[in-house]
Every structure is written in structure tokens, then in C-alpha cells.
DNA sequence: ACATCATTTAGATGGTTGTCAAATTATCGT
DNA sequence: ACGATAATTTGACAACCATCTAAATGATGT
């Protein structure tokens, strides 16, 4: 894990709502964008923004199926991030 | 660890320089404020600001000895934070 | 009492960030 | 081709944040 990615992940975790979104995604094998939208009291644009931030940080994988977007947590990246933190 | 403290710590870790400061403190048993200041290219006011953020998040303990300030990482809080993250 | 030192606080500044509405894009059903 | 749907992008806005200088505070030495 590069220093750049490490700090990207740290920044992304700074927003409580975004962290909740990440936890929601992590609570199932794969999450649908529309389901996330129905669970969080924010606009579709804001949800899209947060998902982009998570994706840019490398924390999630996304795949499109027709109009629908499916998201899953990249467990290996998450583990690497925790390993890095535990070096403090 | 409360949800509030958890998010405070996450926010505090979002700034790369502040994280470096935390690592520096963690690299020795106890760090002196003046030593930290000599090691980071920021003003004393900015260093003070960052130390206050770290303290408010509960990540460090500070003690005064005359004019000098000494700082150490609260290892138990750090461990609790990592434990929480690993629940994802 | 006064000067010096270490640190903190106050206020200003410029950059960042989460939120929205509106527009846009891509997909699907008719 | 067209309308509806799911999701993204754009631009604006308000709030947040790291940085600075200057001033203030408290401890120390004379």
C-alpha cells in the first residue's frame, strides 16, 4: 500500500456518513446502489459523490449490470490499511 | 469507545501531516513539544493546533514540566480504535 | 520588576469538502 | 423514436480546516 493510497483512505474515513455507507456495503456480499440510496437520507448525487470517493481510494469495486450499479468492499485493501495503522 | 470518539479519531487521521506528527510521537516513549517543532516545517501555532486536535480526540496525553510540554500516545485508545475498524 | 522562552489563543486567509438542484448520460421497455 | 429509470456530472453554496502572524499567557532566570 502506497503512502498516497493510505492517506486517501484516511481522508475518506473522516466523514461519518461515508463511513456508515462503507459499513453498509461491507455488511453484505454486494450492495446495490439503489438499495443504498433507499437507506440513506441524502440525494442520489451526494451518494454518487461518496461512492466515487470510496472508489478513488481503492476501497470498493463497482460493476454495472444494465442500469444498476453493484458495489463490494475490497477486503484485501482494507486489511492492508489496518496493517499499516497497526505499525504506529 | 464511543461513536463520537471513533469519528473524532478518524477525522484527526485525515490530515497527512498530523498523522506524521502522531507517528513521531509514537516512535519514542515521550516526545517534547520543542523537539517536534524542530522536526516539522510548520509554525509553533500550527503544531499547537494539531496537538490540540490529537488531544481532543483522546489519542495523546500531555503533561507540563515548567515551560516544557511532553506528549505520549495513548496506546489503549489506539488499540480500541483499530479493534473498531477491524469490525468492518 | 523585567526580559526571555515555550506554548497557546485569536483572527485572517485560502483551499477543501459535503450538500443540493438541475442537467446529462446510459439503459430499458414500449 | 420516445419516455421512464438509475446513476453521474456540473456548478453553486455554506461550512469546515490547515496555515500564518501577532498577541497573549505562564514559567523561568536575573
Show the beta-strand stretches assigned E in A1-88: 31-32, 60-65, 68-73
Q: Are B33 and B54 in contact (CB under 8 A)?
A: no
* Closest amino acid to nucleotide C17 (CA–C1'): A15
B19 touches A: beta carbon within 8 Å = yes
Task: Taking residues A69-83, report their average pLDDT.
Answer: 98
Cβ distance of A14 and B19 shorter than 8 Å: no
pLDDT band of B82, cuts 50, 70, 90: very high
Give the confidence band of B46 by pLDDT, cuts at 50, 70, 90. Answer: very high
Q: What local confidence, expressed as pLDDT, does residue A61 receive?
A: 97
pLDDT given at position A74: 98
Q: Which helix (H) or strand (E) holds A14?
A: none
The reported pLDDT for the residue numbered B26 is 97
Q: What is the pLDDT of residue B2?
A: 96
Taking CA atoms, B60 is separated from A17, A60, A78, B64, in Å, by: 26, 32, 25, 13
Rounded to two decimals, the ipTM of the complex is 0.92
Give B9's pLDDT tier (boundaries 50, 70, 90): very high
Beta-carbon separation of B86 and A85 below 8 A: no
Task: Give the pLDDT score at B3.
Answer: 96
pLDDT at B80: 98
The predicted model gives A15-42 an average pLDDT of 97
- In terms of DSSP H, where are the helices of B13-73? 16-26, 33-39, 44-56
Q: Which domains does chain B have, with CATH numbers?
A: 3-85 (1.10.10.10)
Question: Does A28 reach chain B within 8 Å, measured CB to CB?
Answer: no
Amino acid at each position: 500500500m502506497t503512502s498516497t493510497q493510505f492517506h486517501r483512505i484516511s481522508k475518506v474515513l473522516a466523514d461519518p456518513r461515508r463511513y456508515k455507507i462503507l459499513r453498509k456495503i461491507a455488511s453484505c456480499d454486494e450492495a446495490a446502489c439503489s438499495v443504498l440510496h433507499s437507506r440513506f437520507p441524502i440525494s442520489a448525487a451526494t451518494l454518487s459523490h461518496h461512492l466515487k470517493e470510496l472508489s478513488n481510494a481503492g476501497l470498493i469495486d463497482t460493476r454495472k449490470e444494465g442500469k444498476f450499479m453493484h458495489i463490494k468492499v475490497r477486503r484485501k485493501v482494507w486489511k492492508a490499511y489496518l496493517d499499516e495503522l497497526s505499525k504506529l
